[in-house]
Amino acid sequence: MSDMKGPAVFLAQFLGDTAPFDTLDHLAEWAAGLGYVGVQIPCDPRLIDLEQAAASKGYCDDLRGRLAGFGVEPTELSTHLQGQLVAVHPAYGSLFDGFAPAALHGKPAERQAWAVEQVTLAAKASANLGLSAHATFSGALAWPYVYPWPQRPAGLVEEAFAELARRWTPILDAFEAAGVDCAFEIHPGEDLHDGATWERFLAAVDHHSRARILFDPSHFVLQQLDYVDFIDRYHDRISCFHVKDAEFNPSGRTGVYGGYESWIDRAGRFRSPGDGQVEFGAIFSKLAQYGYDGWAVVEWECALKRAEDGAREGAPFIRDHMVRVTDHAFDDFAASGADRGAIRKLLGLPVQGTSE
């Protein structure tokens, strides 16, 4: 078994217009000062030139060198926003325009083509950076029908996933060519939002070897899904891990759906690591049991705590939970050293070459 890597931090929630959150170098220096050794980088032009990263190993070597100068390394690139645009239901079209360049607003076909190109470029850029996995979203065509009235017509879900697979299979092929896993964050709002939808998608892409999972337990707390059992079921497909906490406190007023309340007033809400209900001890132990050797990455989202405080607490939180996998059994000290002959005697079996 192997040890996971970390602590690392996802930069998306911290990126801003003022230092130390305005450039990749400033963010790397800031993260290193908090004890992080890795940064997950969103494919935002303020942080990385994706086209150049996909075309130039030299550009990527320079980027890695700059980060190394601050004592950190890239863990994964992220195309959460671009991946979302690979599949958009028309009901959300205008809302998701903000994820694309202004010239593509109101042009869903052109916006989708741009998104596919972006994620494909990210596969090549990840390879040039020497990364083994990439983080993204699947997008959603069926999500408006997740709890429908009137009922869904027969075949709607099957058609939605067939189309989702048609759009993603060429992208997954590009990741295969690059030698990089494409890890979908299992997330409400995406068509891949639980184990059942993941299985449906995996079957639709013919169990593509590069179709992988970004595991984030916070989204399972809000769905009341068993996130530890999820690891047991799908551990062989988990390539990325977001350390994000959540809590679910239902009442007679609100529950899973949140009643259209703000985050602070919902029964389910995100919290900084250690402030919610996620049993991270069990999660880190399960991932260690199955030999997860990817990164543990803080994704800060909290309805209450200031972002800078959550970031400061995140690095030691991960470090304290990471399991250094043992290289020998705990009871080896009592090993008898019996050879095969002695073992057969212990079992009451004849030893070869004797008449016993």
For the segment 261-310, what is each residue's pLDDT rounded down to a tens digit?
A: 999 999 999 999 999 999 999 999 999 999 999 999 999 999 999 999 99
What does each C-alpha distance from 130 to 124, 266, 339, 344 come to in angstroms? Answer: 10, 41, 46, 50
Reported confidence tier of residue 334, pLDDT bands at 50, 70, 90: low
Reported confidence tier of residue 232, pLDDT bands at 50, 70, 90: very high
Least confident stretch, 177-181, 315-319, 347-351: 347-351
Residues 6+ apart with CB under 8 A from 36: 7, 8, 9, 72, 298, 314, 315
User: Domain 5-329, what architecture?
Assistant: Alpha-Beta Barrel (3.20)
- What pLDDT does 31 receive? 98
- For residue 2, is pLDDT > 90? no
Mean pLDDT of all residues belonging to the chain: 95
For the segment 66-85, what is each residue's pLDDT rounded down to a tens digit?
A: 999 999 999 999 999 999 99
- What pLDDT does 332 receive? 65
Phi and psi for 246 in degrees, rounded to 5? -160, 165
CA atoms within 13 A on the CB side of 150: 2
For the segment 101-110, what is each residue's pLDDT rounded down to a tens digit?
A: 999 999 999 9
